[in-house]
A and B are shown apart, each in its own frame.
Chain A
């Protein structure tokens, strides 16, 4: 076996009370694609940031091309030949496609000035290899996420890399683009480049990689050739459960019962449209029902959630809450989150750091935030009622903290998510919208939240569940709406719900669209 391109030896990394990595070792060999899998919060991102120099390990070492190494930052790592493609597109949306591709390495003429003509030409040629034909002069931000991601790939691969790290690269890719990525990886392997492929999608592991390492709660729980590992074993390793247990009870903590919809819906959203993201989406939710929204990144799931909650305006469509109340209507200027809350809706947003928690405020302040109007008397807050509310929910949701006065920033991801849940549950809503409720949190908290959703639904709460983890949608939802390009392309009920059916619905729709497009051209 050739010497390893990259060796990570027993590294550990701690952030305050949270131990993100604990004695992790990993080896990348030239010409080999190595899968790094684990649940959200297992430590994959931290490991990558450690390798690329964003963080320093507290303990342990790294060897690159045989030499011990400690990178000062991403620039250093890049210069040394470690190229990274991130899950979020880390390009500059205001700059042109070509500009992004060549940032820092723009071709210059004899005078040292940038030659835009050359840059644009080279950009077009490079992107053609990826099957992308766009106007390279337009700002990157105008393109769909999938294309942006491919451009990020193109940029990362245009340097002389020896190691390429891909962090969940397919989260925004169409099946066709995934095929292209597979070809790209094949090319890299033939060039004896080592690929670290981070994902939580097991199909990709079996399709693309030769070795696999499984992380759980910051530790390596399994490492070996892909050929020797079965799918169930991988899932079990990821979750820390028995293989037999997983086979029988599924991968999540959702119960197996499905609730059927009965009676009239407590929430009815009709024909929500907002160009270009939403194209006539209709959703209805009954009491005690969990409705799942499935779809690729960019399909309009979050936009639907925000439109229902009044967080974003719509061009047309309406939202009806409760048996008789009719609110919303045309350009819902008065349909705001405040109004939605008053009518019994609640939402836990997708990105808790950006739109959810207020880091500097205490846990208590965060929890009671939405309930302020109900806790005030003559403009003053009732301390007593606040504390009551906080105590109730901290206990009920099992939020781990040292004191309710603690800054919410200091809590772990899972507990922060629980705080956001508590904030909405304070209001005793009739319908709760959950956008990626278990993203980026540890396995334990994840199980708790999934069980909680079940419990709440059992008590009559209507839930709209959005998740990129298909197994969550499959096991948690009573009914699934599959979204594509802002429209509902398929509805699955009860036993119809399966990962295969959902993927098929997404793919089939994209095949249709491709046919239509080529049909228009001919």
Chain B
């Protein structure tokens, strides 16, 4: 009996290690591989490019992580990005600031609708946010008449393309968002509530937690962050493109969250892990592109990684 027990414990330890550090391990391995085999990888330009490219996904993923921590999901993030992008050219006449604020408010509005449907109408998150996914992009396209609009506002351009002390602004935003989210989750009562609701909603309600209010907030945050990502994308592109911006980004975000160690079943969240998950996916795509491997391969690799990541988590929670 003792022999059996030890064997079981060893396996659980390895899985635990993989689960906690797997994502970092994978990133390190990938970086080493690229340093060795990919030309021009270790240049500042390239590293900066990678970070800028991953910024929108990372921001959306942080919001998604919060929603997933409540055992929910937000499929509408891509459409919210598009909505924000569509609104900017309409209000840029008042200046970049007001236009951006309107975009963010739109994101919050979408989030509140999602949250309201989930918290008050009791509709399942996948269906509620699915509805917003479809309707949201439609509204965005209606505003923009389906067209791509070029933007020449200098503030916006600066937002998208300039850097502070060598660090691109979008990357700074990622850090900012992550820090705020991390602190909120660890040190604020809000974070505790989110985790409790995701861990056991019935218990949270019986302990007197404001479940509905918290859910509303979480979805509003997700919508707002999606809008932020939409604004940054638009700024960087120099154009508002609601047909394509944010397309399928919900998949990338969910992947980043899951690979980063946040379980879909709620109750636990890894903000840094989420960022790493996004970075890992970005690196994989970049590596494959640099080595002339097609996009399709990237997708298939992504798929396998998701399954492996969740399988490892599964083994842990079952032990």
Which residue numbers of A lie inside 8 Å of B, CB to CB? 12, 14, 58-59, 309, 311, 336-338, 340-342, 347, 349, 354-361, 365, 369-370, 372-373, 375-376, 379-381, 423
Per-residue CB contact flags for chain B residues 84-105 toward chain A (1 = under 8 Å, else 0) read 0000000000000000000000
Cβ–Cβ contact A369 & B202, under 8 A: no
Per-residue CB contact flags for chain B residues 187-201 toward chain A (1 = under 8 Å, else 0) read 111101101100110
Cβ–Cβ contact A361 & B196, under 8 A: yes
Cβ–Cβ contact A379 & B189, under 8 A: yes
Cβ–Cβ contact A337 & B203, under 8 A: no
| Minimum C-beta distance from B155 to chain A (A) | 32
Would you mind naming 9 contact pairs between A and B with Cβ atoms under 8 Å apart? A58-B4, A59-B1, A341-B208, A347-B206, A355-B200, A358-B196, A358-B203, A360-B268, A379-B190
Cβ–Cβ contact B188 & A369, under 8 A: no
Residues of B in contact (CB 8 Å), total: 24
The residue among A14, A369, A376, A380 with the most chain B CB atoms within 10 A of its own CB is A369
Cβ–Cβ contact B195 & A380, under 8 A: no
Of chain B, the residue at the smallest CB distance from A427 is: B208
Cβ–Cβ contact A340 & B208, under 8 A: yes
Cβ–Cβ contact B200 & A357, under 8 A: yes
* Set of chain A residues within 8 Å of B199, measured between Cβ atoms: 358-361
Report the separation of the CA atoms of residues A336 and B187 in the bound assembly, to the nearest whole angstrom.
Answer: 26
Q: Does B134 contact A (CB under 8 A)?
A: no
Cβ–Cβ contact A380 & B187, under 8 A: yes
* Set of chain A residues within 8 Å of B203, measured between Cβ atoms: 349, 354-358
Of chain A, the residue at the smallest CB distance from B197 is: A358
| Minimum C-beta distance from A159 to chain B (A) | 31
Q: Which 6 A-B pairs have the closest CB atoms?
A: A358-B199, A338-B208, A360-B267, A370-B207, A341-B208, A355-B202
* Set of chain A residues within 8 Å of B4, measured between Cβ atoms: 58
Report the separation of the CA atoms of residues A58 and B6 in the bound assembly, to the nearest whole angstrom.
Answer: 13
Q: Do A372 and B200 form a contact, CB below 8 Å, given A338-B208, A338-B209, A361-B267? A: no
Q: Do A381 and B189 form a contact, CB below 8 Å, given A356-B203, A358-B203? A: yes
Report the separation of the CA atoms of residues A372 and B190 in the bound assembly, to the nearest whole angstrom.
Answer: 9
Of chain B, the residue at the smallest CB distance from A355 is: B202
* Set of chain B residues within 8 Å of A340, measured between Cβ atoms: 208
Cβ–Cβ contact B204 & A369, under 8 A: yes
Cβ–Cβ contact B188 & A380, under 8 A: yes
Report the separation of the CA atoms of residues A342 and B190 in the bound assembly, to the nearest whole angstrom.
Answer: 19
Report the separation of the CA atoms of residues A376 and B205 in the bound assembly, to the nearest whole angstrom.
Answer: 19
| Minimum C-beta distance from B111 to chain A (A) | 20
Which residue from B200, B207, B208 sits with its C-beta under 8 Å from A359? B200
Report the separation of the CA atoms of residues A59 and B3 in the bound assembly, to the nearest whole angstrom.
Answer: 12
* Set of chain A residues within 8 Å of B196, measured between Cβ atoms: 358, 361, 365, 369
| Minimum C-beta distance from A110 to chain B (A) | 42
Q: Does B210 contact A (CB under 8 A)?
A: yes
- Interface residues of chain B: helix, strand, loop or mixed (majority): helix
Cβ–Cβ contact B188 & A381, under 8 A: yes
Which residue numbers of B lie inside 8 Å of A, CB to CB? 1, 4-5, 187-190, 192-193, 195-196, 199-200, 202-210, 267-268
* Set of chain A residues within 8 Å of B188, measured between Cβ atoms: 376, 379-381
Report the separation of the CA atoms of residues A337 and B4 in the bound assembly, to the nearest whole angstrom.
Answer: 46
Cβ–Cβ contact A423 & B207, under 8 A: yes
Q: Do A376 and B208 form a contact, CB below 8 Å, given A358-B196, A358-B267, A359-B200? A: no
Q: Do A338 and B192 form a contact, CB below 8 Å, given A360-B268, A369-B204? A: no
* Set of chain B residues within 8 Å of A311, measured between Cβ atoms: 205-206
Of chain A, the residue at the smallest CB distance from B210 is: A338
Report the separation of the CA atoms of residues A357 and B210 in the bound assembly, to the nearest whole angstrom.
Answer: 17
Cβ–Cβ contact B192 & A381, under 8 A: yes
* Set of chain B residues within 8 Å of A341, measured between Cβ atoms: 207-208
Cβ–Cβ contact B189 & A337, under 8 A: no
Cβ–Cβ contact A337 & B200, under 8 A: no
Which residue from B5, B195, B206 sits with its C-beta under 8 Å from A337? B206
* Set of chain B residues within 8 Å of A12, measured between Cβ atoms: 1
* Set of chain A residues within 8 Å of B193, measured between Cβ atoms: 372
Q: Do A361 and B189 form a contact, CB below 8 Å, given A337-B206, A354-B202? A: no
The residue among A309, A340, A365, A381 with the most chain B CB atoms within 10 A of its own CB is A381
Cβ–Cβ contact A376 & B1, under 8 A: no
Report the separation of the CA atoms of residues A188 and B91 in the bound assembly, to the nearest whole angstrom.
Answer: 81
Of chain B, the residue at the smallest CB distance from A12 is: B1
| Minimum C-beta distance from B202 to chain A (A) | 4
| Minimum C-beta distance from A163 to chain B (A) | 27
Cβ–Cβ contact B209 & A376, under 8 A: no
* Set of chain B residues within 8 Å of A370, measured between Cβ atoms: 207-209
Cβ–Cβ contact A361 & B1, under 8 A: no
Q: Do A358 and B187 form a contact, CB below 8 Å, given A58-B4, A59-B1? A: no
Report the separation of the CA atoms of residues A376 and B188 in the bound assembly, to the nearest whole angstrom.
Answer: 8
The residue among B4, B187, B200, B205 with the most chain A CB atoms within 10 A of its own CB is B200
Q: Do A337 and B208 form a contact, CB below 8 Å, given A58-B4, A355-B202, A372-B192? A: yes
